Structure 1
């Protein structure tokens, strides 16, 4: 019979897994918000993080007593302030920039190689055990992602620079997930998200000027879009992913986040009228199958 502590761990992991899935679904709305935004891509990234700071500050102020002991009084360590925030700012900047130099399909596909980066980092930095079964699940999921956007994928010299930017996005987001997983052992989700979001916003603000973008959306609808991106995709979605990284292996968590492009394709069909081809539907099913295989591999390893 499992011990009470084992049951507690199982319940905690199930709660984290549910939060991870909901977080992935929340960030799946981000391409729609970005598409509907009335300001430039870098300015949209700035608002995505800076407008999330007020609700994240409230989450931090009213966090459960059980997590308050994780946060030392006063300013947090410099690593907590800078590293995740700068990595996430780099992720947003290069992702939005890549779309200007390559196709959306290329940018989406190459940026979704983040689980490969996370798996390597989890093995090297976090000392996670990576089993052959998990590597098979990772390969299956990546193949599903290839199928999901492969019909629109284009090769050629015109796209090399943009493709490199998109793959740089995967490196930044993968490094961000590793940093969050590393810091979650010593800091609460609320504190981590608050400071990283503030740093991301401040880092992206000068880049808005460098890219020559305007800052003010002309309509209330434009503002509502930015608040939706900040509060749903970032404050809710990224916070749930950060919470899960404190309870689940980073390698597995990054694979589950591949639900995001599957859900984004579905939402694009539902709300933007973007067609879904049979290959895309099959790719989404393969991605979900790879995630289920990864879950089984994780349970066996545990």
Structure 2
């Protein structure tokens, strides 16, 4: 539980670090994932015997998870620059709802009444948050597109979770995340090169931010969350991650002086309520 609390605080810094960086979203995401993988390389070497368990369907699932994670980062990093931190982080956290829908169609898991209610509540909150961009156009550069990208990021995050769900029951953490991070970095590299963004021409401040993204949200955030799943019930992990939008919004207020509008706050509360209902119903 202590590790999970640290992980939630760590992932809450992600949007703030993205906003502080002046680099394009593609290189930012690429270096975050690449540096996270490099930090895990010594552990991957010690666990090299476990890589042999990634065969056939498990290897394919890990590859698909890496592609989905790359799409998630590409969409969400761009979202943070277009809408408010509160809206972007809250909307991207709706991924449990998309996981529930995907599990029903792909894994034949039953959608309970409580799950459906939770999903509908989360979607209603998302629609309410999108109204802020229409009624208060000065709150962010392009809030409607930013909110849409955040929701797309949530869909891809849901695909990432679904692709890796069964693999983690048979394969150790480090080999699995190593394969996922390498594939993800490859996808983000192709995305960056396709856009023509530079990979290396950045000042020391940007490299410090890239490293901060890798150490904080990458190593102490998502990697620790994956570790915690072996020791804490998945329902507890899902509900705990609802704390990320709250932490990010508070940090945005303190670091960026970004005050969310009342509609964003109200919509965010509805979204978080929907995620909580979905997680409880699935538990």
- On the 8 A contact 1:262/1:284 being kept in 2, the answer is no
Distance 1:244 1:228 in 2: 21
Matched with 1:187 is 171
Matched with 1:238 is 222
1:70-127 superposed Cα distances (whole Å, 9 cap, x missing partner): x354875532551211110111122334567x64577556544422211112233345
Distance 2:231 2:117 in 1: 23
Q: Indicate the larger mover: 163-172 or 247-256.
A: 247-256
Distance 2:105 2:234 in 1: 12
- On the 8 A contact 2:75/2:150 being kept in 1, the answer is yes
Pairing of 1:104-143 with structure 2 (within 5 A): 104=84, 110-140=91-121
Match of 2:250 among 255, 266, 270: 266
Pairing of 1:1-302 with structure 2 (within 5 A): 15=1, 19-20=3-4, 22-61=6-45, 71-73=50-52, 78-79=59-60, 81-98=62-79, 103-104=83-84, 110-140=91-121, 149-150=129-130, 152-154=132-134, 165-216=149-200, 218-245=202-229, 253-254=237-238, 256-278=240-262, 280-281=264-265, 293=277, 297=281
Q: CA RMSD in A?
A: 3.8
Decide which structure has the larger Cα Rg and report it.
Answer: 1
- On the 8 A contact 1:259/1:287 being kept in 2, the answer is no
SS at match of 1:184: helix
Q: 1:293 to 1:113 in 2, by over 3 A?
A: closer
SS at match of 1:218: coil
Distance 2:123 2:181 in 1: 29
Distance 1:245 1:122 in 2: 18
Distance 1:262 1:72 in 2: 37
SS at match of 1:154: helix
- On the 8 A contact 2:96/2:278 being kept in 1, the answer is no
- Structure 2 portions without partners, runs of 5+: none
Distance 2:276 2:145 in 1: 35
Q: 1:230 to 1:202 in 2, by over 3 A?
A: same
Q: 1:275 to 1:173 in 2, by over 3 A?
A: same
Distance 2:182 2:90 in 1: 28
Distance 1:291 1:22 in 2: 21
- On the 8 A contact 1:83/1:179 being kept in 2, the answer is yes
Using the size of structure 2 for normalisation, the TM-score is 0.77
Distance 1:278 1:159 in 2: 15
Q: 1:298 to 1:109 in 2, by over 3 A?
A: closer
- Structure 1 portions without partners, runs of 5+: 1-14
1:239-284 superposed Cα distances (whole Å, 9 cap, x missing partner): 1332355567768755643332222111101211112445555556
Work out the number of aligned pairs and report it.
275
